[in-house]
Structure 1
Amino acid sequence: MIPHLALSHLRCPTTGGVLEWMPTEQLSAVHREIAESSLVNRSGDLVTEQPSAMLVCKAARLAYPVLRGIPLLTTGEAIDLGQLAEAS
């Protein structure tokens, strides 16, 4: 995981907003959606790799995956949180 001090310096590339760790129960929902092949990123690509964590920008309603300890903070890799609400 990213140390708290380092996380405080990371910002959403879309809005410049604060990033927070995604709660465990929401991350579980992301994992289910990926397993069902029903989650796409903002580039329109099907998400196939299970992230170990996600960083969330509440202002933008976007989540950025953390793969192998590396946060993918690019707009194209972001997942619109509205997809999770639609699936529920």
Structure 2
Amino acid sequence: MINIPLEEIANNLNDVSWDILNILRNEPVNFIELKSRLSLGQEKVYKELARLEGACLIHFKKDPKDQRSNIYYLTNYGKSVFKYKK
């Protein structure tokens, strides 16, 4: 695992990534809800979620109400990134 400072990760996040993190900061949501709140296409949302998961800022679990869907959460690392937001 590569050790990258959280501040450096925060400095390289784009607006969509910050929007996703802000939504998840308030509550975990599933993909459909996230896509709806962002008003973006499916491919763009999946791409940003993959980037955030790769940076260990978010994780997901299967939705207990619908096993075909995932619910996205902030990790502790993801919660900490906000202190570096500019």
The two structures have a TM-score, normalised by structure 1, of: 0.28
Q: Which has the higher helix share?
A: 2
Bigger Rg, which one: 2
The two structures have a TM-score, normalised by structure 2, of: 0.29
Q: Taking CA–CA contacts closer than 8 Å with sequence separation of 6 or more, which of the two structures ends up with the larger relative contact order?
A: 2
